[in-house]
Amino acid sequence: MEEIVRAIEDSLEHFYIAINQLKKECETLRMEVQRLEKENKWLREQMPGKSNTPVAYKEGQDALARLYYEGFHICHMQYGNLRTEGDCLFCISLLKK
C-alpha cells in the first residue's frame, strides 16, 4: 500500500513539474504573440499605398519606369522596342502620370 501511495506521489510530482513547464511555455508564447501583434501593426503602418493608390497600380508604374530606364519604350506607339534616340516624349508623359 505504501509503495502505491509513493508511486502516486511521484507521478503527481512529475505531473506538477510538467504543468509548471507548460505554464512557462504558455507565458513565453503569449509574450511572443504580443510582440508579433505589435510588429504586425507597425508593418501595416509602414505599407505603401495606404491612402488612395492601390499597391498593384504603384508596382505597375515602377515596373514601367524600370523598363523605360533600361532603354525600352513603354509608350503605345513603340512599346517594348529599344529606345535608340534617347528620351521619348510619349514614354515620359506616361511616367509622369
Binding residues for Zn ion, how many (CB under 5 A)? Answer: 5
Report in angstroms how near the CB of residue 91 gets to Zn ion at its nearest.
4
The rounded distance, in Å, linking the Cα atoms of 31 and 24 is 11
Contact window for Zn ion (CB under 5 A) among 5-13, 27-35, 43-51, 82-90:
82-90
- Using rule CB under 5 A, residue 64 touches Zn ion: no
Considering beta carbons, is residue 44 or 76 the nearer one to Zn ion? 76
The rounded distance, in Å, linking the Cα atoms of 61 and 43 is 23
The rounded distance, in Å, linking the Cα atoms of 3 and 69 is 84
